[in-house]
Amino acid sequence: MNDGHLVQYYEKEGFLYDRVTDFMSEGLRGSDAAVLIATPAHRDGVESRLLRQGIDLSRLKAGGRYHALDAQATLSRFMVDGTPDPHRFADTIGPVIRTARGGDRRVLAFGEMVALLWAAGNQDAAIQLEELWNDLARRETFALLCAYPIKHFDDAVHAKPFADINAAHTWVTPAESYSIAEADERNRVIAMLQQKAAALETESKQRAVLESALRGKIDELAEVDRRKDEFLAMLGHELRNPLAPVTTALQLMRIHETEPGRVARSREIVERQIEHMTRLIDDLLDVSRITRGKIELREQPLLLSAVVEQAIESARPLIDERGHRIAVDLPSEPVRFLADPARLAQVFTNLLNNAAKYTDVGGRIWLRARIEGNDLVVGVKDDGPGLSPELRKHAFELFMQGPQARTRARGGLGIGLTLVRRLVELHGGTVDALSDGPGHGTEFVVRLPLRLPPVADGDAAPAPAASSAPQRRVLVVDDNVDAAEALGELLRDFGHEVTTAHDGPQALDHARLHRPDVVLLDIGMPEMDGYEVAKHMRDQLGLCDALLVALSGYGEDRHRRLAREAGFDRHVTKPVDAAKLEELLKLSP
């Protein structure tokens, strides 16, 4: 295999020296000539092995049968702008080959210049140089061995140029790990390589699938991030909106404080806007609680008609404001079943509000219920703009909203339908969005398992009406001065004796002096929080019989537990409803 144009791949320098020595030594012992074009280190490695085999290189040089050239210096003689020039190459290498041949001697040449070009990253030039060697061999008879470190082809992108190099040679020899002379052993290695290739191909396909899934997940996360940004912008918009009429109404109340009619109208504006903000915040908290599995249903026997009536009553202001007509179609017989009445009413209210919000002024809304087998099916349909297939697919996802222009015109945070789906699923049901496309309206269909309440012996007698609450000594503690004073004023209107404090130490001083029956205590105060104040009141002031009520913006179970551990009797989430507060004061001894 010492004829033609050969290529040898190698892993270690020592193997290269042995391979070049084997290529030249037998011919040099006879009458052949050799040309060694290599780096100084490789030239020294080959020559030392030739000398150990008893080959007298000095004599061969003197006789014109051995020529050693520096690969880099030789390469520089025919490279022009990073490309081997054919004429310069022939003028540089041709004379050396002819001199070595000396007429009719066989020439064995080793050229390392192609490997230098490849190592420098000039792959195209390396392949061009291989072809120049082939052209020269057709004019000047000689055998050529080229060599490349196999590590230079360790990337998948090298497959094509690697194949091109092999195609430029008449004989290809693998690196030492796979240079096996024994046919049986060679076949075993080939079979092993085939197995590895098959495994690699399978791994590549699996990796492609995973990469595709990863790209999909990245796109999905980017979409979620975009919706989050839109949601935060919308949240700011929705929370700022009520502040403008509240601020204006308060200014009017101050200007017209002597005109009861004007003050009453301004007060109604404030109450409506605060109720709107409270609903927004409640929806946010509900989504958080449901997502973390913190909501438990309070199921009880109920009538479908009562739940629907409550939902329509809640949605009526928006329906009337937009001039819609609503039609209700319920089964002729009363439908009695087990569910959480407040949460179920919330489901239907959200669906009605959604229909009212997105249907153009003067539209139609239908609420229809029917029994199908063991299921209760309730649909809320409108003749609004309808849903595109893409929007219908994602309608129940958190922060999902319709086209931005329409959303901004109608308001909303994009969480109402998410709440609907989660609450329906908590009841063991499903909800679907149906639409024939843009311009054909939308229907949301809720399907609930019809679980019947146990048969009772008789209806319980209604509880007697509670008597009006007696006067109490109440201490209101809140570091927000306006909040404390406003709540104190409300309680005074209820006929109670009220004292206010705005930090922990002041609260303890008032409690020690006035011995209140009821303490309404804000939790989130600086320095001494509500938990610490409550413990002091119980342990140090001996207020064992007083009703301690924690006021907090947090309504999670762990906050209620912390309140109980600190000595509170009740935990109330802000904002405080006046009617509920009055009922709570009746519990005081």
User: Amino acid identity, residue 205?
Assistant: K
Where in the chain is CATH 3.40.50.300? Answer: 5-179
Mean pLDDT computed over 370-398:
86
The answer to whether residue 407 scores a pLDDT higher than 50 is no
Residue 233: the pLDDT is: 57
**Side-by-side strand order, sheet with 375-382:** 325-329, 364-372, 375-382, 442-449, 430-434
The answer to whether residue 188 scores a pLDDT higher than 80 is no
CA–CA separation, 538 and 175 (whole Å): 86
108 — pLDDT class (breaks 50, 70, 90): very high
Residue 410: the pLDDT is: 47
CA–CA separation, 524 and 34 (whole Å): 93
458 — pLDDT class (breaks 50, 70, 90): very low
Mean pLDDT computed over 561-578:
86
- How confident is the model over 466-505, as pLDDT tens digits? 345 578 889 999 988 877 887 888 888 888 888 999 999 9
Residue 381: the pLDDT is: 95
The CATH topology of domain 201-295 is: Helix Hairpins (1.10.287)
Residue 236: the pLDDT is: 61
- How confident is the model over 271-323, as pLDDT tens digits? 877 876 776 677 666 666 666 666 677 888 989 988 898 888 878 888 988 99
CA–CA separation, 502 and 484 (whole Å): 7
Mean pLDDT computed over 94-104:
91
Q: Both ends of the chain: CA-CA distance in Å?
A: 110
Highest mean pLDDT out of 133-142, 392-401, 455-464: 133-142
Residue 392: the pLDDT is: 75
Residue 450: the pLDDT is: 92
568 closest CA partner among 551, 580, 587: 551
Which residues have C-beta within 8 Å of that of residue 454, sequence separation ≥ 6? none
The answer to whether residue 69 scores a pLDDT higher than 90 is yes
Q: Are 404 and 413 in contact, with CB atoms under 8 Å apart?
A: no
CA–CA separation, 320 and 312 (whole Å): 11
Where in the chain is CATH 3.30.565.10? Answer: 300-449
Does the domain made of 5-179 have the CATH classification 3.40.50.1980?
no
Which residues have C-beta within 8 Å of that of residue 198, sequence separation ≥ 6? none
pTM of this structure: 0.42
The answer to whether residue 134 scores a pLDDT higher than 70 is yes
40 closest CA partner among 63, 72, 62: 72
Which two tokens mark 93? 């290498």
User: Amino acid identity, residue 530?
Assistant: G
The answer to whether residue 88 scores a pLDDT higher than 90 is yes
CA–CA separation, 382 and 442 (whole Å): 6
Q: Are 109 and 143 in contact, with CB atoms under 8 Å apart?
A: yes
- How confident is the model over 309-365, as pLDDT tens digits? 888 887 888 898 899 999 999 888 889 999 988 889 889 988 998 899 889 999 999
Highest mean pLDDT out of 1-5, 291-295, 506-510: 506-510
The answer to whether residue 168 scores a pLDDT higher than 60 is yes
Residue 46: the pLDDT is: 96
Better pLDDT: 200 or 97: 97
Better pLDDT: 581 or 60: 60
Average pLDDT, the chain: 83
Tell me the percentage of the chain whose pLDDT exceeds 70.
85
Where in the chain is CATH 1.10.287.130? Answer: 201-295
The answer to whether residue 459 scores a pLDDT higher than 90 is no
Q: Are 39 and 112 in contact, with CB atoms under 8 Å apart?
A: yes
The CATH topology of domain 473-585 is: Rossmann fold (3.40.50)
- How confident is the model over 194-235, as pLDDT tens digits? 677 777 878 888 898 999 999 989 988 887 777 666 656 556
444 — pLDDT class (breaks 50, 70, 90): very high
Q: What is the 3-state secondary structure (H, E, C) of 175-187?
A: CHHHCCCCHHHHH
CATH number of 300-449: 3.30.565.10
Q: Are 329 and 367 in contact, with CB atoms under 8 Å apart?
A: yes
Where in the chain is CATH 3.40.50.2300? Answer: 473-585
The answer to whether residue 98 scores a pLDDT higher than 90 is yes
